[in-house]
Amino acid sequence: MIHFFQAIYDWMIGFFGVGNFIKIINSGDYSSFLTYDGFTSIIGPLFPIVLVIEILVALVLRKFNAIDYKISFFSYVLNAFIGRFISIAAIIFCIGLFEKYAIFKTTFTWYWFIYGYIVWEFAHFIYHYLGHKVRLFWCLHSTHHAPQTMNLSVSYAHFFLEGTYADIIRTTVCILLGVNPPMLFVIMFIDGFYGGFIHIGEHLMKDGKLGFLYKYILTPSHHRVHHAKNPLYMDTNFCNLLNIWDRIFGTYQPEEKGLAIEYGITREMKPNSFLDSYFGEFACLLKDVYKAPGLKNKFLYIFMPPGWSHTGDHKTASVTRTEFMESQRQFNQNEFETLEKEAVV
Ligand SMILES: [Zn+2]
Ligand SMILES: [Zn+2]
* DSSP assignment of 229-248: -STTTTT----SS--HHHHH
The CA 290 to ligand 1 mean position distance, Å, reads 27
The CA 235 to ligand 1 mean position distance, Å, reads 7
Neighbours of 322 (CB within 10 A): 12
User: Are 246 and 254 contacting, i.e. CB atoms less than 8 angstroms apart?
Assistant: no
Residues 111 and 207 in one domain: yes
Residue ending a domain, choose from 36, 64, 92: 64
pLDDT of residue 13: 66
Residues 185 and 203 in one domain: yes
Instruction: Give CA separation, 57 vs 64, 65, 224, 253, 296, in Å.
Output: 8, 12, 20, 30, 52
The CA 102 to ligand 2 mean position distance, Å, reads 30
Residues 100 and 183 in one domain: yes
pLDDT for 281-297, tens place per residue?
999 999 999 999 999 99
Residues 19 and 107 in one domain: no
pLDDT for 110-145, tens place per residue?
999 999 999 999 999 999 999 999 999 999 999 999
Q: Across 5-14, 284-293, 321-330, 333-342, which has the greatest mean pLDDT?
A: 284-293
Residues 23 and 172 in one domain: no
The CA 116 to ligand 1 mean position distance, Å, reads 22
Residues 14 and 77 in one domain: no
Residues 60 and 75 in one domain: no
pLDDT class of 261 with cuts at 50, 70, 90: very high
Nearest ligand, CA 238 = 1
Residues 8 and 38 in one domain: yes
Residues 93 and 50 in one domain: no
Residues 187 and 326 in one domain: no
Expressed as residue numbers, the domain containing 229 is 69-306
CA–CA distance, 312 with 206 (Å, rounded to integer): 42
For the chain, first and last CA: distance in Å?
Answer: 86
Count structural domains, the chain.
Answer: 3
Nearest ligand, CA 251 = 1
